[in-house]
């Protein structure tokens, strides 16, 4: 039996049916979050430090999420409640990408408490905390993005923030295995992972992320999870917005998605070295094939 919905109140607003956007790095999560963030009634946060700290702690030590007592649920719920506060200066704590997505130009908040009826978050790597999110918000709606792993690898390799997570901070003595975040199944593979080319590490992260997405598709109620392909969003943004609007039962901004500068589909052909393409396709062959990219 599912636990009763916890009533979280932020700025006097009851948090009902929050929307969380999930996906591997550079799978289009930020683009969809931009559309939601600019939609009437939504307050969507992206990359707030309070949430990121919790997400990466869970990613490093997944067992924290399985401990009895509900501590992980409370910690994540509290972090989101802090991120969703609509007060003067709150947007200063957001990364530049979140402020740009919300069209914030001054020092004021990106949303007005009187206009907000729905909350959401698209923090990078929120995917790894999805089971805890569902416990924290049993009525939540989840949207997950799937994108060609070769395009993902190309964008990750060019992104300093993504590559910085491969440093020893994520692979420390506290890191548990199997580790979905790094895509490493056993501590015995630590040295092999450390010596692997960066393109291979990106492929492992993508492979693990799409496996988690597939598991969510099997485990989560169908009326609470919508799966989209980045390629479809890029080619038919209008249809994507219509599907998302129907799913969240609220009007989502078409203009924000049409106006976004989205990476091109298939750009990996000109951006990845041939040896990097070979490695990515070798590491993630099963998932690339299953999803129709090979």
User: What band does 197 get if pLDDT is binned at 50, 70 and 90?
Assistant: very high
Task: Convert the pLDDT of each residue in 222-261 to its tens digit.
Answer: 899 999 999 999 999 899 999 999 999 999 988 877 666 7
Looking at the structure, tell me whether residues 156 and 211 fall in a common domain.
yes
User: What band does 189 get if pLDDT is binned at 50, 70 and 90?
Assistant: confident
Looking at the structure, tell me whether residues 43 and 105 fall in a common domain.
yes
Local structure of 61: helix, strand or coil: coil
Looking at the structure, tell me whether residues 40 and 66 fall in a common domain.
yes
Looking at the structure, tell me whether residues 21 and 138 fall in a common domain.
yes
Residue 174: the pLDDT is 73
Residue 108: count of CB within 10 angstroms of its CB: 13
Looking at the structure, tell me whether residues 189 and 227 fall in a common domain.
no
Residue 95 has pLDDT above 90, yes or no: no
Which two three-digit tokens encode residue 81? 């409640």
Residue 106: the pLDDT is 62
Residue 5: the pLDDT is 54
User: What band does 67 get if pLDDT is binned at 50, 70 and 90?
Assistant: confident
Note whether 129 and 268 are within 8 A (CB). no
Residue 7: count of CB within 10 angstroms of its CB: 8
Residue 169: the pLDDT is 61
Among 105, 95, 9, CA closest to 46: 95
Q: Which domain holds residue 272?
A: 148-220+264-294
Which CATH number covers residue 40? 3.40.50
Give dist(CA 18, CA 121) in Å, integer: 8
Looking at the structure, tell me whether residues 99 and 139 fall in a common domain.
yes
Looking at the structure, tell me whether residues 168 and 247 fall in a common domain.
no
Residue 275's contacts (CB-CB under 8 Å, 6 or more residues apart) are 197, 199
Element (H, E) at 226: strand 225-229
Looking at the structure, tell me whether residues 30 and 89 fall in a common domain.
yes
User: What band does 1 get if pLDDT is binned at 50, 70 and 90?
Assistant: very low
Looking at the structure, tell me whether residues 226 and 142 fall in a common domain.
yes
Give dist(CA 95, CA 97) in Å, integer: 5
Looking at the structure, tell me whether residues 278 and 178 fall in a common domain.
yes
CA 78 to chain centroid, in Å, comes to 18
The pTM assigned to this predicted structure is 0.92
Looking at the structure, tell me whether residues 135 and 25 fall in a common domain.
yes
Give dist(CA 2, CA 20) in Å, integer: 19
Give the count of domains, the chain: 2
Looking at the structure, tell me whether residues 131 and 120 fall in a common domain.
yes
């Amino acid at each position: 039996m599912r636990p009763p919905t916890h009533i979280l109140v932020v700025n006097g607003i009851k948090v009902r049916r929050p929307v969380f956007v999930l996906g591997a790095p550079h799978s289009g999560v930020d683009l969809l979050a931009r559309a939601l963030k600019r939609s009437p009634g939504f307050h969507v946060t992206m990359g707030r430090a309070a949430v990121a700290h919790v997400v990466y702690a869970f990613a490093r030590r997944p067992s924290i999420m399985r401990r009895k007592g509900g501590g992980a649920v409370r910690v994540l719920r509290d972090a989101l409640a802090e991120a969703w506060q609509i007060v003067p200066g709150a947007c200063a704590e957001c990364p530049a990408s979140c402020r740009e997505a919300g069209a914030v130009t001054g020092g004021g908040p990106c949303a007005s408490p009187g206009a907000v009826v729905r909350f959401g978050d698209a923090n990078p790597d929120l995917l790894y905390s999805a089971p805890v999110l569902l416990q924290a918000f049993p009525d939540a709606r989840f949207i997950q993005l799937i994108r060609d792993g070769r395009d993902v690898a190309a964008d990750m390799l060019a992104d300093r923030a993504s590559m910085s997570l491969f440093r020893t901070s994520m692979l420390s003595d506290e890191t548990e295995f199997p580790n979905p975040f790094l895509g490493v199944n056993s501590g015995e593979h630590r040295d092999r992972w450390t010596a692997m080319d960066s393109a291979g590490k990106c492929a492992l992260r993508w492979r693990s992320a799409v496996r988690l997405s597939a598991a969510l598709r099997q485990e989560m109620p169908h009326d609470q999870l919508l799966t989209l392909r980045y390629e479809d969003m890029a080619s038919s943004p209008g249809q994507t917005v219509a599907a998302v609007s129907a799913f969240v039962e609220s009007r989502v901004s078409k203009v924000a998605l049409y106006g976004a500068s989205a990476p091109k589909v298939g750009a990996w052909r000109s951006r990845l070295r041939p040896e990097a393409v070979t490695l990515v396709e070798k590491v993630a062959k099963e998932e690339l094939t299953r999803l129709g990219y090979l």
